[in-house]
Amino acid sequence: MAIEKSEAIILRTLNFRDTSKILTAYTLDHGLVSLIAKGVRGPKPRFGSALEIFAHVDLVYYNKDSRDLQLLSQASLLEAHLGLASNLDRYRHACAVLEFLLKLLSGQEPPGKLYPLALRTLEVLEKAPVASLGSLFLAFQIKAVSFLGHRPELFSCISCRESLTEPVYFAPLHGGTVCDNCVVEVDGTRTITQSQLGFLQRLMKSTLAELFEDVPSSEFMADTRGIFELFLASQLDRYEPSRSLRQIPNRHALGLREALKAGDPLGN
């Protein structure tokens, strides 16, 4: 049994028995780790907000590769991201980020660019203009899948590699854009407008802060998101559209902070 230390983002929490919690943490050094935190609830709660979802924390735990659940020893809070619970739209988009990470990560990820992106996205969702949250979440998804080896081709034809002129098509199954000359040879294509393509290109290339003013109409957003969802569904084995963005959390009547404290914000 080895003692491990890592900073982490808390993705999921579940109350266990009378005084314990089971946590899923995305650690900087070891990817996804499941932990049991014993005796942290009840009359003498320990670690406070460090064991809530969205929290950015430093963790110390006992690791044994032969078991699925590692034993938490220490947790100290670096940032609670409490602003994410101040507004339902911020909260739902931030939950969608955690949900996407839980689907995307297998537990074997080496340290890479995805962890800093996830942390930066939570920071940005806390303070960005509410109207830009949809663009920011889509940008997070495009960047995240790119870092994990599923970068969509948006700048040339996936078949002939030539640059794109109108009309342009998109082939979700083949991972990107197709030119007019090649469209007959590629299956499963659909049209994509220049403005939709330009939007996806900006999301891929821009920093998150550069997208604060990128606020398309909700109809444009829904159509473009639909195209990208087809890409995600055909490229990722475990992909499902976000539940957090589809559903109003059942426990919203409790108030967001109470739902957060209950550790079950989506009412699962």
Q: Which is nearer to Zn ion, 123 or 153 (CB)?
A: 153
182 binds Zn ion (CB under 5 A): yes
Q: Which stretch binds Zn ion (CB under 5 A): 73-81, 126-134, 150-158, 205-213?
A: 150-158
- DSSP letters along the chain, please? -EEEEEEEEEEEEEEETTTEEEEEEEETTTEEEEEEETT-SSSS--SGGGGSTT-EEEEEEEE-TT-SSEEEEEEEEEE--GGGGSSHHHHHHHHHHHHHHHHH--S-PPS-SHHHHHHHHHHHHHHS-GGGHHHHHHHHHHHHHHHTT-PPB-SB-TTT-PBP-SSEEEEGGGTEEE-TTTGGGSTT-EEE-HHHHHHHHHHHHS-SGGGTT----HHHHHHHHHHHHHHHHHH-TT----HHHHS--GGGGG-HHHHHHHT-TT--
156 binds Zn ion (CB under 5 A): no
157 binds Zn ion (CB under 5 A): yes
Q: Residue 27 in contact with residue 13, Cβ under 8 Å? A: no
Q: Which is nearer to Zn ion, 138 or 157 (CB)?
A: 157
Q: Which is nearer to Zn ion, 169 or 231 (CB)?
A: 169
Q: Which stretch binds Zn ion (CB under 5 A): 23-31, 72-80, 148-156, 178-186?
A: 178-186
248 binds Zn ion (CB under 5 A): no
Q: Which stretch binds Zn ion (CB under 5 A): 31-39, 83-91, 131-139, 172-180?
A: 172-180
Selected binder of Zn ion within 1, 69, 130, 160 (CB under 5 A): 160
154 binds Zn ion (CB under 5 A): no
Q: Which stretch binds Zn ion (CB under 5 A): 31-39, 115-123, 181-189, 199-207?
A: 181-189
179 binds Zn ion (CB under 5 A): yes
Q: Which is nearer to Zn ion, 56 or 174 (CB)?
A: 174
145 binds Zn ion (CB under 5 A): no
Interface positions with Zn ion (CB under 5 A): 157, 159-160, 179, 182
